Amino acid sequence: MNNIWVNHIVRFILYIALQVLVLKHINLAGSNQNYIFIMIYPVALLTLPIKIPQFFVILIAFTIGFIVDLFYVSPGVHAGACLWMVIFRPLVLRIFEPKNGYHTDISPTISNLGVVWFSKYASVLLFIFFLSYFILEIFTFVYAGEILVKTILSFFVSSIIIFLVQLFYSFKS
Q: What is the pLDDT of residues 84-112, one digit of tens each?
A: 999 999 999 999 988 887 776 788 888 88
Nearest to 154 by CA among 136, 128, 120, 117: 128
Mean pLDDT across the chain? 86
pLDDT at site 141: 76
Predicted confidence (pLDDT) at residue 1 exceeds the cutoff of 60: no
CATH number at residue 15: 1.10.1760
Residue 32, SS3 per DSSP: coil
Mean pLDDT in residue range 67-93? 93
Mean pLDDT in residue range 75-86? 95
Total domain count, the chain: 1
Q: What phi-psi label fits residue 97: left (phi over 0), alpha (psi between -120 and 50 degrees) or beta? A: beta
Question: What band does 68 get if pLDDT is binned at 50, 70 and 90?
Answer: very high
Stated as kind and residue range, the H or E segment containing 133 is helix 115-138
Question: What band does 65 get if pLDDT is binned at 50, 70 and 90?
Answer: very high
d(CA 40, CA 77) in angstroms, rounded, equals 15
Measured in residues, the chain has a length of 173
- The one-letter amino acid code at 58 reads I
Q: What is the pLDDT of residues 9-46, one digit of tens each?
A: 888 888 888 888 887 767 666 556 677 888 999 999 99
Q: For the chain, how are helix, strand and coil distributed in percent, rounded to 5?
A: 70, 0, 30
pLDDT at site 100: 81
d(CA 126, CA 122) in angstroms, rounded, equals 6
> Residue 121's domain spans which residues?
3-172
pTM, entire model: 0.89
